[in-house]
Amino acid sequence: VECSSVDEALAAAGAGADIILLDNLAPQELHAAAAQVKAAHPGVTVEASGGIVLETLPQFLGPHIDVVSMGCLTHSAPALDFALRV
């Protein structure tokens, strides 16, 4: 379940979600929210997403973050022009 606040994340985990995606949170807010979710629901997987790039990735890693999604790996990839003749 995609959540944009700790209240949404706790509600989703309490309703039975097994994966919580914390989207577009600043690193400090993200880590605080992830810690609260893990304290209340230890079996829930917590994913960080939203605006994370390779340069800022270390700020989003932490003991309560299980998965990090980075859209920059696909939507910012350079195009390759090629042809194949059979």
**Which residue ranges form the domains of the chain, and what is each CATH number?**
2-73 (3.20.20.70)
Is there a contact between 62 and 33 (Cβ–Cβ < 8 Å)? no
Residue 25's contacts (CB-CB under 8 Å, 6 or more residues apart) are: 4, 33, 48, 50
Q: Write the pLDDT tens digit of every residue in 44-54.
A: 999 999 989 98
Cα–Cα nearest to 49, from 35, 36, 34: 34
| pTM (2 d.p.) | 0.82
In the prediction, which pLDDT does 3 show?
96
DSSP letters spanning 7-45: HHHHHHHHTT-SEEEEES--HHHHHHHHHHHHHH-TT-E
